[in-house]
Structure 1
Amino acid sequence: MSISFLNGDYMPLEEARISPLDRGFLFGDGIYEVIPYYKGKSVGLMPHIERMINGLAAIEIKCTKTADEWKELLDDLVARNESMGDNLGVYVHVSRGADVKRYHPYPEGVEPTVFCFCFNIKDPEPVDRTKVTQYSLVSTEDLRWQRCHIKSTALLGNVIHFQEGYSSGADEALLYNANGELTEGSSCNAFIVKDGIIATPIQDNQILPGITRRIILDSLKADGSLQVEERTITMDEVRDADEIWITSSSKEIAPVTKLDGKPVGDGSVGEIWEKAFAIYTASKYDF
């Protein structure tokens, strides 16, 4: 049974309740994070917390918890849920809170709703390109809002794009802007590899500042054995890539072997993925 946290109290997940006037429910007015823990060890915990605090500030939700207080809360929640298994994801959700009416402007004097719970996640993938799970994608124009750098709970645009991929039998949707430039996936960041060089779109308002993306870039640059670039990437480059990866806290670095029904590169998981994933795996608990 999952133990959740809601506004200062721990309780079984099925007993957690919020007001129907909560602005997270009415407007998607909130910020969230998903943080993986493997055998009690977190990946990117403080960067996740920092991103959440920045997101709350960006939409002017006044939550007074410090980074250290968040860390203490989430570590404690994982410890309370240790009976669920070794590998847990923690979902953290902070909405603006419940007002007495439905009204668009930010209300005054409303306490944020803080909700967290644990769920099971799978074991990390093996660092072996013959055994790792392979992904299939479809590409589609990015029709979401222009503030994708904020990890908002208002995810309908992402959900619609993800459903496009799901309905067509793919695992994800890969998105591009009106200029035909790669942005990201509906629930992940994206990388390509060509002639041994790794590239990912530059960080701007079109993409989420992914924590896994950040760990990959930092660990690869620190290692120095693989060349990595942050730059504009056209969809022509994507379709001509030797390798495509999608990255997130739940997927880590997932190799894509099919895009729009066609093989990526030679249709198998690439050697650069295996090298990069080994570097990431060796350092992911350092963040």
Structure 2
Amino acid sequence: MGRIVYVHGQFIAEEEARIGLFDRGFLFGDAVYEVTAVINGRMIDNDLHLARLQRSVNELAIPLPLPLEEIAAVQAELMARNDLRDGTIYLHVSRGEADRDFFYSEALAPRLVGFTQAKTLTGTRAQQNGISVDLADDPRWQRRDIKTAMLLGQVMAKQTARSRGFDDVWMVEAGLVTEGASATAHLITADGRILTRAASRTTLPGCTQRALARLCETEGLQIEERAFTPEEAQDAAEAFQTSASSLVMPVVKIGGRTVGDGKPGPMTRRLQALYLEAAGVPS
């Protein structure tokens, strides 16, 4: 038997899981999702992820299928049933099922799906050595602040970047970096300031980004929220990206140009250590 997944109120074997043909998430991408990291059997920043889930469904006028505390209980049960120690928990909320029509009824019952993915999140080769990111025009819609399941633009950008020999990709719009295809982009200046874009409809508000910002405030580290150009990124002293599944990931090459000396820098290493310490990961 494979994993136990959660589908519409039931914990069942993944082989038995079914999504309806007329689910609006399938037909229209009318759905939102969240991914929470699990390290040493503990959910990381889950309060931030559930709050973002609530915000996303509110922006699309999708009712939550369960109260947040019950969704957290579903996550905990998925961890227990799958004996998940390290990996991620994926949640997906669609508006519901109805015959295909652009217009939807407010009476639709939202659908909740959840599953776990076991994977190593800490101490990976990428986190030790850093990654390369390509630069690509941002093809996505204008409400990137909503964590929708419409990810085709990101899929295409990541696939193209990989075919070009890069590990990941940062998006560019109007001459400015927006964000990574599945991560928040950050720079570190020569004088030690941490640059990242301010919250807006242009980018997704990152949960790992917010958690790290809290730690930086405690440590007295300066964060400047503003947009930056690809050239500024390539000339930065250091660069990194954050996400639930990659945590604090050093970026050592951007668009074919080496960042700094081509190795994860001291500030990035400090931020990695701060985040892992806060997550309860032994050094």
Pairwise same-fold verdict (TM > 0.5): yes
Assess if the C-alpha contact under 8 Å between 1:34 and 1:91 holds in 2: yes
Deviations 1:47-98 (A, max 9, x none): 101100111111011124222111111111111111xx52131110010111
The aligned runs of 1:100-119 (5 Å cut-off) are: 101-119=99-117
Assess if the C-alpha contact under 8 Å between 2:121 and 2:246 holds in 1: no
Partner of 1:264: 259
Partner of 2:52: 51
Aligned equivalents of 1:105 and 1:159: distance in 2?
A: 27
Assess if the C-alpha contact under 8 Å between 1:162 and 1:187 holds in 2: no
Offset, 1:39:
2.1
Assess if the C-alpha contact under 8 Å between 1:162 and 1:172 holds in 2: yes
SS at match of 1:137: strand
Offset, 1:285:
5.6
Assess if the C-alpha contact under 8 Å between 1:133 and 1:254 holds in 2: no
Offset, 1:15:
1.1
Offset, 1:107:
2.2
Assess if the C-alpha contact under 8 Å between 1:44 and 1:285 holds in 2: no
Residue 248 of structure 2 is aligned to residue 253 of structure 1: yes
Q: Which runs of 5+ in 2 are unaligned?
A: none
Offset, 1:264:
0.8
Offset, 1:255:
0.6
Aligned equivalents of 1:167 and 1:148: distance in 2?
A: 25
SS at match of 2:70: helix
SS at match of 2:128: coil
Partner of 1:87: 86
Offset, 1:235:
2.1
Deviations 1:184-222 (A, max 9, x none): 011111100111221111111111111111111111111
Partner of 1:146: 142
Partner of 2:151: 155
Assess if the C-alpha contact under 8 Å between 1:46 and 1:67 holds in 2: no
Aligned equivalents of 2:85 and 2:42: distance in 1?
A: 10
Deviations 1:29-57 (A, max 9, x none): 10100111112211011110110011111
Deviations 1:143-196 (A, max 9, x none): 211100000001111111112211211111111211x11110111111001112
SS at match of 1:107: coil
Give the root-mean-square deviation of aligned CA atoms.
1.8
Aligned equivalents of 1:45 and 1:15: distance in 2?
A: 28
Partner of 1:200: 196
Assess if the C-alpha contact under 8 Å between 1:42 and 1:285 holds in 2: no
SS at match of 2:264: coil
Residue 253 of structure 2 is aligned to residue 273 of structure 1: no
Partner of 1:25: 26
Assess if the C-alpha contact under 8 Å between 2:197 and 2:227 holds in 1: yes
Query: TM-score when scaled to structure 1?
Result: 0.92
Aligned residue identity for 1:173: V
Identity level (%):
34
Assess if the C-alpha contact under 8 Å between 2:22 and 2:97 holds in 1: yes
Using the TM superposition, name which of 262-271 and 104-113 deviates more.
104-113
Partner of 2:213: 217
Aligned equivalents of 1:164 and 1:174: distance in 2?
A: 12
Aligned residue identity for 1:214: R
Assess if the C-alpha contact under 8 Å between 1:43 and 1:285 holds in 2: no
Aligned residue identity for 2:60: I
**Runs in 1 of length 4+ with deviation above 6 angstroms?**
none
Partner of 2:62: 61
Aligned equivalents of 2:93 and 2:51: distance in 1?
A: 14
Assess if the C-alpha contact under 8 Å between 2:154 and 2:181 holds in 1: yes
Partner of 2:43: 42
Aligned equivalents of 2:186 and 2:141: distance in 1?
A: 22
Partner of 1:97: 96
User: How many residues get paired?
Assistant: 279
Offset, 1:271:
0.7
Query: TM-score when scaled to structure 2?
Result: 0.94
Aligned residue identity for 1:143: P
Using the TM superposition, name which of 55-64 and 277-286 deviates more.
277-286
Assess if the C-alpha contact under 8 Å between 1:32 and 1:93 holds in 2: yes
